[in-house]
Amino acid sequence: MEDCLGQKWKQRQFDLASVSDLSVALPSPSPGIARFDTDGLKIYQQSHQIPFSVDPRTVQLYKLSPVQSVCVVEGSDVCKKTLYSRGVTIQFRNEEDSAAFHCVVQQWKKEVNPQGENGPNGTLTTSKSKFDEKIESSSAKMYFHYYGQLLHQQNMLQDYIRTGTYHAAVIENRSDFIGRVVVDVGAGSGILSLFAAQAGAKHVYAVEASDMAEYARKLVAGNPMLAQRITVIKGKVEDVELPEKADILISEPMGTLLVNERMLESYVIARDRFLAPTGKMFPALGRIHMAPFTDEYLFMEIANKALFWQQQNYYGVDLTPLHGTAYQGYFSQPVVDAFDPRLLIAPSIFHVIDFTKIKEEELYEIDIPLRFIASVGTRVHGLACWFDVLFNGSTVQRWLSTAPGSPTTHWYQLRCVLSQPIYVMAGQEITGRLHLIAHNAQSYTIYLTLSVKMWGPGSEQGGILQTSSCKLDLKEPYYRMSQPQAYALAQDQQCQPFVPSQDFDEPEIVQQHSSNSCVQIDSVMQNI
């Protein structure tokens, strides 16, 4: 179709069913005309004499439906800084006119900027987006396919802790939303956009890259009292352009361990691209909480998976050469489930990620030093992790928590299990490091090290007694996801009640109990 158009874009004109200026507080749609001439593209609205002029190097065109599109162009503020400041919604008489218009615009841009040189906004028009440069295409395809299905959206919507907390955080802080422009980053079904509109937002731009955008449009259209203030835009926040700055960014960018799926980076990019200097982010910060745990049942469950590879006569084949590799492989999977907080053997610590200040690049590698004081004498099987996020509203501050012992969410909690547990006595210091390195499959490689130092008289001259390390792939967890079990505690594992995160001052020294060996577990480990 493009070939047949040639230079005809210079004479093309399209009659529009309606034109609506998005920069107006209460837009009044009216019929109009889109005309390509020697001066470029101009969009006229019958009720206004001044046309909407378009620069071919900077125009961005997004389809909202088969017959409706948003056209965004570049403008300048009083400081002459470049930003996308104006946009119009245009509705065609039929799908054929819409398709022809889009085709002409693409041809027109090629004629004006054939090599994809730098436009006035400083970006290459034909270059890969930032998202595509750092994420492998197969991972992105699976990711957007997953979130493009209603059954997965339903799973999140039916997490009433998640959805209810978001709704309360928005509605209880109406003063932050009334008359404000809101951008919903990764809008999914559009539920958060609808919440923002319920709270009185002037306009909400719901940005969603997956096919869920089409369902979001249907959901928004099915709520006509709110629909006139919500625009769903299909695209990545790294790529799309908006007609105005946002007063509020709202998003649900949290994955397992807070950072899985690497959507926090998109949230930060949206902040830098769209949020006004005095704008707010919902949520504003997140915390990763960590504490050592003991769980003989879980350890045995994982270790026993590798027993299959101890067979010396499997249809005449000796499988034992692969037992050690299989054993380590099972322990390379973080465990996602809900556990009894009494399994924690020390008060938790936390690492803060401030969404309002952190740079995108700082999320590529997260290094967290660990230091705990054991409350009981037991075996340490690994590190338990969970997160919470803060909605820092002007009226009400509200936390969304995934902590053990709290109502279970679809995130559950996460545990990194050591293939070689370490022994501690009550009052001993446990040190280590949790090191997260992002990879292009939209997740992280986890490196965990835990060490136990000498405790008691002469400990300052003593070194580290035991160290255990593991490498895990956050992309490939073991979804155990059971509800917290009623664990029968052994006599030497009288764990303490769950203690929330707290700073270290002078940790309480708990009386040491005798420690018995676990013959069954040790026998399994000896065969590695």
Which residues are known to be catalytic? 252, 261
CA 46 from chain center: how many Å?
44
Q: Which of 260, 501, 513 is nearest to 371 (CA)?
A: 501
Are 268 and 359 contacting, i.e. CB atoms less than 8 angstroms apart? yes
Q: CA 315 → CA 308, 319, 503, distances in Å?
A: 13, 10, 57
DSSP state of 320: G
Measured in whole angstroms, the distance separating CA 225 from the mean position of its chain's CA atoms is 30
Calculate the CA dihedral of residues 53, 56, 57, 59 and round it to 10 degrees.
70
The 3-class SS string of 253-309 reads CCECCECHHHHHHHHHHHHHHHEEEEEEEECCEEEEEEEEECCHHHHHHHHHHHHHH
Strand partners, 349: 290
Please say whether the beta carbons of 208 and 214 come within 8 A: no
**DSSP-derived secondary structure letter, 11:** G
CA–CA distance, 66 with 64 (Å, rounded to integer): 7
Give the bridge partners for 361, in sequence order. Answer: none
- 317: Cβ–Cβ under 8 A, 6 or more apart, which residues? none
